[in-house]
Structure 1
Amino acid sequence: MVTAAPGEERSPALALVNTRRLGAGGEVDDLAEPPAAASWLGLPPATSLAADDLSRVTDLRAAVRELLAALAEDRAPSTGAVETVNAAARADAAAPQLTWPSGPHREWHSASPGSLSAALAALARDAIEVVTGDLGPLVRPCEAHGCVRFFFREHARRRWCSTTCGDRVRAARHQRLVVEQRESAQG
Structure 2
Amino acid sequence: MVTAAPGEERSPALALVNTRRLSPAGPVDDLAEPGPAAAWLRLPSVTAEDLRRLHDLRAAVRELLAALAESRSPGGDAVTTVNAAARADAAAPQLAWRSGPVREWHSTRPGSFEEAVAALARDAIDVATGDLGGLVRACEAHGCVRFYFREHARRRWCSTTCGDRVRAARHQRLVVEQRDAR
Q: Normalization by structure 1: what TM-score?
A: 0.96
SS at match of 2:77: helix
Q: Give the CA deviation at 1:91.
A: 1.0
Q: Percent identity?
A: 79
Aligned residue number for residue 36 of structure 2: 36
In the alignment, structure 1 segments of 5+ residues that lack a partner are none
Matches within 5 A, 1:134-173: 134-173=131-170
Quote the RMSD (CA, aligned, Å).
0.7
Cα distance between partner residues in 2 of 1:17 and 1:61: 6
Normalised by the size of structure 2, how large is the TM-score? 0.99
List, as ranges, runs of 4+ consecutive aligned residues in structure 1 with deviation greater than 4 Å.
none
Structure 1 partner of 2:64: 67
Distance 1:26 1:89 in 2: 32
2:15 aligns to what?
A: 15
Determine the C-alpha separation between the residues in 1 that align with 2:149 and 2:133: 8
Please list the CA deviations of residues 84-103 of structure 1 after superposition, one character each: whole Å capped at 9, or x if unmatched: 00000011000001110111
Matched, 1:174 2:152: no
Alignment partner, residue 76 of structure 1: 73
Q: Which amino acid aligns with 2:155?
A: R
Please show how residues 88-167 of structure 1 align to structure 2 within 5 Å: 88-167=85-164
CA distance in 2, matches of 1:166, 1:78: 30
Equivalents in 2 of 1:175, 1:123: separation in Å?
41
Q: What runs of 5+ residues in structure 2 fail to find an aligned partner? A: none
Q: Which whole-Å deviations, capped at 9, do the CAs of 1:55-101 have from their partners, x for residues lacking one? A: 00010000000000001111100240000000000110000011101
CA distance in 2 between partners of 1:27 and 1:78 (Å)? 23
Count of residue pairs brought into register by the alignment: 182
**Distance between the aligned counterparts of 2:15 and 2:55, measured in 1?**
13
